[in-house]
């Protein structure tokens, strides 16, 4: 009986030491070619938007806002796949020249709904242990909803900007694979092993579409009681056009926890120019925020 108790004590001690050592190691197999990891992510960002719609005025509108998004992410040594849905709301202001007709300022509520997807492939020939490069297609669709009461019949502005893009991603590995001791004479610090990465991504539009109306947003179509659909009335005179351009950049600093989850800080810049049928629409959005990645499961390839 005594031998059994002693054996259990030594076994428990050994397992405790192994668990303690494992706690100081980064998650194994996170980015090798033999496994992939699936994540669910939530993001929040402080944003600044700038836009100009020549169909109503040449004024620039600028203002702050808040963006939230949710992601489904699959990442391995071979591929990188992301599906993202985001929402943004902004309070934008325009400086209007003083006159007897125009007010000294303009205000517009600017809302965006964005759907994004990419599938990137690892380029082995130009990558190494520190730098990993992935290239592939991406799709981005943005629906803008703008309200400016000072424009009267043109108060409501709607446009959809859809882009088929080419995306290139560079991942720089800054992982610390072993514990590191720092000795400052009076003070000593222990930096535990940590998996860290810097992600840089650039997207450029190849096929650029926009769904916009004609010269102005004046909704002057007839309304026949309940026979007229509000959506059809709002989208009258709209048509698809293939023109313009779109550029996106994303910079993300990401570090992993010992349970497989991860934190990140990111900066995202998105700019688009959509000529439409007659008058152009331009926008640029800056987002700075943080995200938390929940690891769902590890898939062996």
The pLDDT confidence band at residue 190, using thresholds 50, 70 and 90, is low
Q: What angle do CA 99, 103, 104 make, to 5 degrees?
A: 85
Round the average pLDDT of the chain to a whole number and report it: 82
Both tokens of 262, joined, read: 């991860």
Confidence (pLDDT) at 67: 97
- Integer Cα distance of 215 and 72 in angstroms: 39
* Confidence at 300, pLDDT banded by 50, 70, 90: low
Give me 178's structure tokens: 């072993």
Residue pLDDT, tens place only, 127-147 = 887 889 999 999 999 999 999
How confident is the model over 151-178, as a mean pLDDT? 87
Whether residue 149 is predicted with pLDDT greater than 60 in this model: the reply is yes
Strands 187-191 and 131-147: unpaired
Residue 78, pLDDT > 70, answer yes
Asked whether residue 230 carries a pLDDT value surpassing 60, the answer given is yes
User: How far is 290 from 267, CA to CA, in rounded Å?
Assistant: 9
Among candidate residues 73, 116, 118, the one with its CA nearest the CA of residue 294: 73
**Helix (H) / strand (E) containing 7:** helix 2-22
Give the pairing type, strands 187-191 and 35-53.
unpaired
The stretch 82-90 carries a mean pLDDT of: 97
Query: How far apart (Å, rounded) are the C-alpha atoms in residues 271 and 244?
Result: 11
pLDDT at residue number 140: 97
Per cent of the chain over pLDDT 70 is 77
């Amino acid at each position: 009986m005594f031998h059994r108790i002693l054996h259990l004590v030594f076994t428990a001690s050994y397992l405790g030491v192994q668990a303690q050592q494992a706690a100081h190691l980064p998650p194994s197999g996170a980015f090798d070619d033999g496994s992939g990891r699936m994540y669910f992510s939530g993001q929040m960002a402080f944003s600044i938007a700038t836009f100009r719609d020549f169909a109503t005025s040449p004024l620039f509108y600028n203002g702050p806002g808040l963006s939230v998004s949710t992601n489904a992410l699959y990442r391995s040594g071979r591929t990188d796949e992301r599906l993202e849905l985001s929402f943004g709301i902004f309070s934008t202001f325009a400086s209007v020249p003083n006159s007897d007709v125009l007010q000294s300022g303009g205000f517009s509520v600017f809302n965006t709904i964005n759907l994004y997807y990419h599938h990137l492939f690892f380029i082995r020939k130009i990558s190494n242990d520190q730098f990993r490069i992935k290239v592939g297609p991406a799709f981005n669709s943005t629906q803008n909803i703008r309200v400016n009461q000072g424009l009267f019949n043109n108060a409501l502005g709607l446009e959809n900007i859809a882009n088929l893009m080419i995306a290139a991603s560079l991942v720089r590995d800054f992982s610390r694979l072993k514990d590191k001791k720092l000795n400052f004479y009076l003070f000593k610090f222990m930096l535990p092993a940590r998996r860290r990465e810097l992600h840089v991504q650039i997207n450029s539009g190849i096929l650029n579409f926009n769904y916009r109306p004609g010269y102005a947003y004046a909704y002057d179509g007839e309304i026949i009681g309940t026979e007229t659909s509000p959506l059809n009335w709002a989208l009258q005179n709209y048509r698809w056009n293939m023109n313009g351009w779109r550029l996106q950049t994303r910079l993300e600093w990401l570090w992993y926890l010992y349970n497989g989850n991860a934190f990140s800080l990111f900066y995202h810049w998105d700019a688009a120019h959509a000529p439409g049928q007659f008058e152009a629409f331009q926008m640029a959005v800056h987002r700075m925020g943080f995200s938390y990645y929940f690891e769902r499961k590890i898939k062996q390839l």
